[in-house]
Structure 1
Amino acid sequence: MSNVVPLPDLAPLRDWFSSYCDSFRTSDLELQRNFDLKQEHTRNVCRDALLIAQGMGPRFEMLAEVAALCHDLGRFPQFRDYHTFKDSESLNHAHLSAQVMKQHHVLDFLPAEERGCIEVAVRMHNAFLVPEAIPAVTANLLRLLRDADKLDIWRVFIEYFNTPEAERASGAGLGFPDLPGCSAEPLAAVSAGRMVQLSALKSLNDFKLLQVSWIYDINYPATLRLIRERSVLEHFRAILPQDREVLDVLAQVGGYLEEKLRESAH
């Protein structure tokens, strides 16, 4: 007798997610645009999670899709109740996502160990750094979810700036003012090879630099390849100020990306 546990059919979970999104439907166009943004984002994170997880085994790929599908469940009640995606002005959307998962029993079809693994990944996906001392499979899943999430947040943010203001999903900019230039603190962090802290931001341009700095926090070679394939840095270069110091840090991050790609190829 084989001890291999058959893979669960995820169709019921995907259907549940669609009906969950539908439960927030509203005639308020402003609200609905932000809900639609998060529904599309979740579907893209699922797609990217599976791209990154290729070759890691069918069971892990299944866990990656489940974690991706659940990671932003809290965004819907967050925006409905607070009209912002800024956690510091509302609540921690990742913790809320984990609560929604439990309330709706969406992981009941999985063994307890795998449920726990997904719960940690969802709850911690927005932490500044991956916590130490968590089991290897949980850490791998969390790192993969963070990579897939970043890949699509970059798309959302770049599209936001290429969309007429009247048609933008208002929540995507987190309410930062559109000021000229970039602040010294985010520039210094990127220049030092560090991720930018949200507390250091004063403007939308600073927020763009924070997103560029995420490249220092990428975990999987497949993600690095997708960053290059999708011209993420080039898109940010086009929407950032053309100041010498900004161009210098972008060149530095580009060099870091190429070095990591070379390392992963060996």
Structure 2
Amino acid sequence: MSEAVPLPDLAPLRDWFTSYCNSFRTPDREVQRNFDLKEEHTRNVCRDALLIAQGMGPRFEMLAEIAALCHDLGRFPQFRDHHTFKDSDSLNHAHLSAQLMKQHQLLEFLPGEERACIEIAVRMHNAFQVPDGLPAVTTDLLRLLRDADKLDIWRVFIEYFNAPADQRASGAGLGFPDLPGCSAEPLAAVTAGKMVQLSTLKSLNDFKLLQVSWIYDINYPATLRLIRERSVLERFRAMLPQDGEVLDVMAQVGRYLERRLRESAHFPQQ
């Protein structure tokens, strides 16, 4: 990718996304609340992707915005057709997003190498881990998209758990029951410094722990700084059971974040 190539105008793509969202509008307020959730999420991921990409070159910043704008296209037909955002109960929304990009020929204004880079990033953004063997720029873009996505998913769930029940977007909780306490398996994973597997969850509290464990999958120093600035861990701590084991786990995760921040101050381009 050459920085000498003129940057394309992304206004038509942004306008297309607005029209795409409007095409799903419905008088059903409960369903529309879920569509609105995903439209706002996408716009925030675009914002955060650009924040993280600052200083990485205008061409890469452009790719970051395009990938962010397209990453959740599949969420809209997913909820329309299956009434859930839980991929295991419906379909892989990231794969569908990549298919929709091709179907609507959204990236035809880009060189083939850049199209492939964005398509892989969108298709793989919800994978449990970043796969090995991808081209360097694709890996960088995929990691950035995953970081930006996590930043706003945290906001979505903090707002979800703090909103009155009748104002919550129903799909956001993925259908987990609101039970007391946390299960042993998710707690053990976070304690071990590992990401929690979705298949081990039994409750909303477990789902909160899964999101806390995403801290172990953050890639860029700018993302780490935004996590601290937005008090993400503190807000999740306040929403979790206030028992000793959970508080110990949250303290451990907080120390991990601070250590990563100290390390990134010495190696800012990691």
TM surpasses 0.5 = yes
Q: Distance in 2 between matches of 1:24 and 1:105?
A: 19
**Matched AA of 1:117:** C
Tell me whether 1:124 sits opposite 2:103 in the alignment. no
CA distance in 1, matches of 2:261, 2:160: 28
* Aligned residue in 1 for 2:91: 91
In the alignment, the residues of structure 1 paired with residue 120 and residue 238 of structure 2 have an alpha-carbon distance, to the nearest angstrom, of: 36
Name the SS of the counterpart of 1:85 in structure 2: coil
- CA deviation vs aligned residue, 1:208-265 (integer Å, no higher than 9, x gap): 0000000000000000000000000000011000010000000000000000000000
Partner residue in 1 for 2:66: 66
The equivalences for 1:51-200 within 5 A come to 51-200=51-200
Instruction: For residues 112-150 of structure 1, give each alpha carbon's deviation from its aligned partner in whole angstroms, at most 9, with x where no partner exists.
Output: 000000000000000000000000000000000000000
**1:3 CA drift (Å):** 8.2
User: Aligned letter for 2:176?
Assistant: F
> Does the residue aligned with 2:214 lie in a helix, a strand or coil?
helix
Structure 1 residue 4: Cα displacement: 1.3
Which stretch shifts more, 251-260 or 3-12?
A: 3-12
Identity over aligned residues, as a percent? Answer: 86
1:35 alignment partner in structure 2: 35
Counterpart of 1:89, as a letter, is D
| Contact 2:3–2:59, Cα closer than 8 Å, also in 1 | no
TM-score for both structures, normalised by structure 1: 0.99
Tell me, which stretches of 5 or more residues in structure 1 are unaligned?
none
Q: State the distance in 2 between where 1:212 and 1:72 align.
A: 21
Q: Distance in 2 between matches of 1:207 and 1:3?
A: 42
Structure 2 CA distance for partners of 1:79 and 1:54, relative to 1, 3 Å: same
What secondary structure does 2:8 align onto? Answer: coil
Q: Does 1:18 align with 2:28?
A: no
Dislocated runs of 4+, deviation >4 Å: none
Q: What TM-score do the two structures reach when normalised by structure 2?
A: 0.97
Deviation digits for residues 176-226 of structure 1, max 9, x if unmatched? 000000000000000000000000100000000000000000000000000
Unaligned runs of 5+ in 2: none
Say if 1:80 and 1:3 are closer, same or farther in 2 by CA, change over 3 A: closer
Equivalent pairs counted in the alignment come to 265
> Structure 2 CA distance, aligned partners of 1:232 and 1:216?
14
**2:182–2:206 Cα contact (<8 Å) kept:** yes
Alpha-carbon distance in structure 2 between the residues aligned to 1:102 and 1:22 = 20
Aligned partner letter, 1:137:
V
Q: Look up the equivalent residue of 1:185 and give its one-letter code.
A: E
Matches within 5 A, 1:4-15: 4-15=4-15
Report matched runs for 1:193-212 at 5 Å.
193-212=193-212
Q: 1:254: which partner in 2?
A: 254
